[in-house]
Amino acid sequence: MMPVRFYDIQWDTHDEEKNETLDLASLNLPTDCVMSVEDDVDVKEDGAELLSQEHGWLVKGFRFQVPGKCPDCGADLDYQGGEVQDECYVYDVTCTNPDCEWSGKECYDLHFAEQVKR
């Protein structure tokens, strides 16, 4: 399983019977969420179906991010170190594809996991 961040989610909330578009907030539909997805899933092809199955509404469009993958071209990211910032660990990353010039940061939330006795 891999975590996938879906964002800029555009839901089809048009009610054909009433011929009106329902309010997104009243339906409690997210515009940004993280879901665990099987490693072999093609998120670009199957993401809308995954979101629809999870939330019960059709999806018109979305963007996504996968840890370790370039958000522009999908190539692996190269990690150049990082630091703790505001309850998260932030890595400086650069795309490994020589034809892609994307670089940026990849953030991971820090949270309590467990205490282990020595």
Same domain, 32 and 58: yes
118 lies in some domain: no
What number is the average pLDDT over the span 54-78? 94
40 lies in some domain: yes
pLDDT tens digits, one per residue of 7-30: 999 999 988 888 888 888 889 999
Same domain, 61 and 83: no
Rounded to two decimals, the pTM is 0.80
Report the chain's mean pLDDT, rounded to a whole number: 92
DSSP code of 118?
-
Sign of CA dihedral 79, 80, 81, 85: negative
Same domain, 18 and 53: yes
Give the range of the structural domain holding residue 6, as residue numbers without chain letter. 2-65
Same domain, 50 and 93: no
Q: Which stretches of 1-118 are assigned E, i.e. beta strand?
A: 2-12, 14-15, 20-21, 32-37, 58-65, 77-85, 88-95, 103-109
Q: Over pLDDT 70: what percentage of the chain?
A: 100
What local confidence, expressed as pLDDT, does residue 25 receive?
82
Same domain, 46 and 93: no
55 lies in some domain: yes
60 lies in some domain: yes
Overall domain count for the chain: 2
- d(Cα 25, Cα 8) in Å, to the nearest integer? 14
Same domain, 84 and 39: no
